[in-house]
Chains A and B, each alone.
Chain A
Amino acid sequence: MSALATKRAVLAPGARFPDVALRDHAGNERWLSELVVGDPVVLQFYRGFWCPKEQAFLRRLVRLQDEAEVAYCRFISVSVDEPRVAAAFRAGLGARWTFLCDPDRVVLERLGLRETTDTVNDPYVPAVFTLFPDLEIHRAYDGYWYWGRPTDEELRQDMRAISRRIRPDWSAPTP
């Protein structure tokens, strides 16, 4: 197994996702744990604004945010775009969650999420992780092929499973 494959292999359900720091779309440094705090998370790595598959997937996430905004969960999107590019893409999409930026590809290397087949843009390989608040990975999706990405329903199921485990009052209090 290559070093790259080994790195990616540890990003599997049950493992703890590394707590990394990157600049957000406004240029401020943000730690993953600081963004997650106490909620379930959809952590998405995308190639860049230019990719039609990412445009299609992110438009789906934007529709899903109308549920997420009242469901106490968080979305985080990560790419190699500069903050100004990420901010423009986010604004164009109408996304209301945090976009993180890794133009120097430092975290990309640490996580082993380089898309080796794209030597022009050198982007993240598309991947989605659903996380518990302590960054434990609930499920990992390899989005290299579009159908490898989670459906809206799978994300709902993941958010439900994580919420059920972390919310002590998941069962409504009764008299």
Chain B
Amino acid sequence: MSGASSWCWFAHVEEPPDGATAAARVRDRDGHPAGALAAWVQRAKPLRDARRVDVRAIDPAGAPATISLVLPPPGVRLPFDDLAVQQARRDALAAPPFDVLSTLLRDASHFEGAVTVARGANVRRLAEDPFARIFPALVLEVEAGLFGRMPAPAGPTIERYGSAQPWPWDRFPTAA
């Protein structure tokens, strides 16, 4: 999914919410229900805990996938330009690409997590998610209808194209 905006809203919720652009139930690696993930392509923030995600990650027609969802523990905040986050971006560029990779943002200055989507043989590589060295990762099985497949970042840029854009969104607004 893409459009005029580089990002959309994304949240881990208990049930697929009404009004979401895309949503899918999730299970943990033991098969236990673990709520749902949802995305909203809209200006207004739909939930207090919603975060910005690269809009190219979301596809209502997307296939089932396994994801690594990295979120900061409650009350913990880390600058997006922290050296650990910089290195995770470098490591993500150096490794073979996944189907989806996006950092998550709530504001212009903090790292609020990352989501990495894998399918097939790449699922085992989720254990090497570089963002999971920063905060704990939830590895989840996601039903169809939420995550698509986005082009791998061209590299070597680790900077955001504007502080409101989730890395690796790859262009300034004038180049969209």
Contacts and interface: CB of A to CB of B under 8 A. Distances in A.
Nearest to B149: A28
B158 A26 contact: no
Interface residues of A, number: 30
| A interface SS class | loop
B154 interface: yes
B84 to A, nearest CB: 16
A98 B174 CA distance: 23
Interface string A60-104: 000001001111111110000000000100010011111000000
A35 B154 contact: yes
A98 B158 CA distance: 14
A158 interface: no
Interface string B138-176: 000000000000011011111101000000001110110
Interface string B117-138: 0000000000000000000000
Given A87-B96, A91-B94, A133-B175, A69 B156 contact: yes
A65 B93 CA distance: 12
B154 A69 contact: no
B46 interface: no
Q: Which size bracket describes the interface of B in this complex?
A: 10 to 19
Contacts of B156: 65, 68-69, 74-75, 95-97
Contact of B97 (A26, A68, A76): A26
A145 B2 CA distance: 45
Contacts of A38: 171-172, 174-175
> Binding site of B, secondary structure by majority: helix, strand, loop or mixed?
loop
Contacts of B158: 69-70
A34 interface: yes
Contact of B90 (A72, A73, A96, A133): A96
A94 B94 contact: yes
Given A24-B152, A69-B157, A75-B156, A96 B94 contact: yes
Contacts of A28: 97, 151-152
Interface of A: 24-26, 28, 30, 34-39, 65, 68-76, 87, 91, 94-98, 133, 168
Given A25-B96, A65-B155, 16 more contacts: A26-B96, A28-B152, A35-B154, A38-B174, A39-B157, A69-B90, A69-B155, A69-B156, A70-B158, A70-B159, A76-B154, A95-B155, A96-B156, A97-B155, A133-B175, A168-B174
